[in-house]
Structure 1
Amino acid sequence: MKMNRNDHCWCGSGLKYKKCHMNFDEKYEKLREEGYEMPSRDIIKTPAQIEGIKKSAEITKGALDLVAEKIHEGMSTEEINTIVHNYTIEKGGIPAPLNYQGFPKSICTSINEEVCHGIPDKDIILRSGDIINVDVSTILDGYFSDSSRMFMIGDVSEEAKKLVEVTKECLYKGIEAVKPWGFLDDIGAAIQEHAEANGYSVVRDFGGHGIGLEFHEEPFVYHFGNKGEGMILVPGMVFTIEPMINAGGYSLFVDADNDWTAITDDGSLSAQWEHQILVTEDGVEIISK
């Protein structure tokens, strides 16, 4: 149904359409008619939905802050899982990974050559020199948030430190490439350029994803690609950017023993940082980190 200028906007803001999404809709339709790939309307979040996602993200951030305080050499990855699980429940949330498609734990803990989806275990003990990604995702009142951080344990090699640092730089290069009414693949192009300039490779098998009302929504966010291609980024889109950067080649395999943990084919180190972001009218906002 066509909206009149003085109708209340479809987004639920309470504002008149002409003061809210009228210009947005006109621009969206013009680009769609010109043949650009546009996001479906159902993945453009309303102000109320964005507020719910941000409240969920407060728990995710708080859990990672707590891990940063407590993580140490000699602890098991199961202990990290317990810390996050208990914190999330205490704050009224639900750990999103737990039982998701059969995943058995509340977080992912990926160490050294593990690219992603490492499963916490009481027998996996953190040692000096390890680098570990802790990936936390939360459901609060039906809203989803997701982010991960790298942690360096004890005396870490210069090689490992550089990989962790450059991977975080890749994440922020990707975030800087997010422009309202820009192109999705600009993100991957910026990440790939920075990673390869430092002699690293970008994992192809996994990427970022839309998130908010579901754990995984459209779009899929590639961490490699060509500038000026892909879906148009519009205000109200919420997704993760989470580059997985390998010191060696980008090929990987999934551990046959658990059907979850991805590991570098050549045994090289891998690192990952993840933030959840919102495309705004004038740029980008980091929701969870």
Structure 2
Amino acid sequence: MYIEYIAMELPRKLIGSLSQFWKINVLDIKQLYDSVEKLVFVSISLEKRKTDVVRSRYNSTMRVPKALNPRLQKQLLLRFGVYETVYPVETTPSRTVPDHIEKPEYVLQKQPTVLPDKAEVKDVNQLRGMRRSCKLAANILAHVQKNIYPGITTDDIDGMVHKLTVEAGAYPSPLHYKGFPKSVCTSVNNVAVHGIPDLRPLRDGDIINVDITVSLITVITLCWHQYVNSLQNNAIKTCGPEVPFSEIGASIFRHSKRNGLTVLPAFIGHGIGRYFHGPPDIYHTLNRYRGRMRPGMTFTIEPVLSHGSKHTLILPDGWTVVTEDGARSAQAEHTVLVTEDGAEILTK
């Protein structure tokens, strides 16, 4: 079922209540409440596919999200420019990894690593492995940054990352993780996270997030980089022994609000080490997550910011997440180690 509607000034709480109507088998609703004059249902259909809805929202190019009035729209245009909304296009087959490189358990279909039930304090050997893999991810990212230019495709970037990773004797962790077909995530403009590299050439003015994740001797690390680094660095400065995990989100929320940006709350950081994702959960907005940091803990901080709405959509490929209103987004990610006197960025 899908619903198309016009709601220029509809309160968010009322939009949230729409879900109760999705369970009702009806063909046409003209109004939700008489008091809401600006809500008009165009159609409700059980036959329409999700793909049609997504394409209808992303069939325009060179656009900025609609604002509430022309003055605000002009401000958005001056601040963020004109850009193309991105939708997945054709791509190439998955790349292969040499047999001599150790594969993670999700590729070998072995019994998955048992996750700890709380944030893990790593020993000296584990931290040594974390530093090696984080350094490799940072070096690959530095190489990629120097070789991104208009005309290159995100599939070319995938090939570059794949080659550098396997040459270092590591495994590109996104490849075949829960079915992901590529060796890196590339998210352009309105794609918030988990973009699948394809044959679309990058254009002058595009914003691209490159998610590099490597597995080196069973230690996994992640490394992202984007212009939201100042916000992220402020959050990292709050880290240290006995600091509540929730303080990270509070710092990011305050900083983004001061700069007129929106945190996309659907995406959180996480513990990392022998496993891809584990405790603790690192929220990037106001939250009440329990627990405090201890020396030896490692986790990612990876806020996603947008200049539009906080709402996102998952495309039919099951991976690509785009902003609902077509607004551009940017993300930065680092793997952080809590130390005795603060925090160390391992992926720097």
1:205 CA displacement: 0.8
**Unpaired runs of at least 5, structure 2:** 1-115
Deviations 1:219-247 (A, max 9, x none): 11100115x86211111110000000011
Runs of 4+ in 1 over 3 A off after TM superposition: 39-42
Whether 1:233 and 2:233 are equivalent positions in the alignment is: no
Deviations 1:249-288 (A, max 9, x none): 11101112x1101101111110000010000111100001
Match of 1:142 among 218, 223, 228: 218
CA contact (8 A) 2:245 2:289 kept: yes
What is the one-letter code of the residue matched to 1:208?
G
Aligned pairs for 1:46-57 (under 5 A) are 46-57=123-134
Give, in whole Å, the separation in 2 of the partners of 1:90 and 1:130: 29
Whether 1:181 and 2:242 are equivalent positions in the alignment is: yes
1:74 CA displacement: 0.3
Whether 1:245 and 2:293 are equivalent positions in the alignment is: no
Aligned pairs for 1:68-87 (under 5 A) are 68-87=145-164
- 1:254 is aligned to 314
- 2:144 is aligned to 67
- 2:333 is aligned to 274
Give, in whole Å, the separation in 1 of the partners of 2:281 and 2:272: 10
Q: CA 1:42/1:131 → structure 2, altered by over 3 Å: closer, same or farther?
A: closer
Match of 2:263 among 187, 202, 207: 202
Q: CA 1:46/1:192 → structure 2, altered by over 3 Å: closer, same or farther?
A: same
What is the one-letter code of the residue matched to 1:186?
E
1:41 CA displacement: 6.4
What is the one-letter code of the residue matched to 1:67?
V
CA contact (8 A) 1:200 1:249 kept: no
Please report the TM-score for the alignment, with normalisation by the length of structure 2.
0.65
1:62 CA displacement: 1.2
Give, in whole Å, the separation in 1 of the partners of 2:179 and 2:289: 35
Whether 1:264 and 2:341 are equivalent positions in the alignment is: no
What is the one-letter code of the residue matched to 2:214?
T
What is the one-letter code of the residue matched to 1:274?
E
1:52 CA displacement: 0.5
What is the one-letter code of the residue matched to 1:179?
G
Please report the TM-score for the alignment, with normalisation by the length of structure 1.
0.78
1:40 CA displacement: 5.2
1:42 CA displacement: 6.8
Give, in whole Å, the separation in 1 of the partners of 2:119 and 2:311: 34
Give, in whole Å, the separation in 1 of the partners of 2:240 and 2:126: 21
The alignment-based identity, stated in percent, is 40
Q: CA 1:53/1:126 → structure 2, altered by over 3 Å: closer, same or farther?
A: same
**Unpaired runs of at least 5, structure 1:** 1-38, 151-163
Give, in whole Å, the separation in 1 of the partners of 2:216 and 2:345: 18
Q: Which has the higher contact order (CA 8 A, sep 6+)?
A: 1
Deviations 1:193-231 (A, max 9, x none): 0101111111111111100111111111100115x8621
Q: CA 1:205/1:283 → structure 2, altered by over 3 Å: closer, same or farther?
A: same
Describe the SS at the equivalent of 1:169: helix
Give, in whole Å, the separation in 1 of the partners of 2:240 and 2:218: 28
CA contact (8 A) 1:94 1:138 kept: yes
Give, in whole Å, the separation in 1 of the partners of 2:146 and 2:205: 18
CA contact (8 A) 2:119 2:271 kept: no
Q: CA 1:253/1:42 → structure 2, altered by over 3 Å: closer, same or farther?
A: closer
Match of 1:132 among 202, 208, 213: 208
The number of residue pairs the alignment matches comes to 233
- 2:192 is aligned to 115
What is the one-letter code of the residue matched to 2:301?
I
What is the one-letter code of the residue matched to 2:271?
G
Bigger CA drift: 228-237 or 169-178? Answer: 228-237
Match of 1:102 among 145, 154, 179: 179
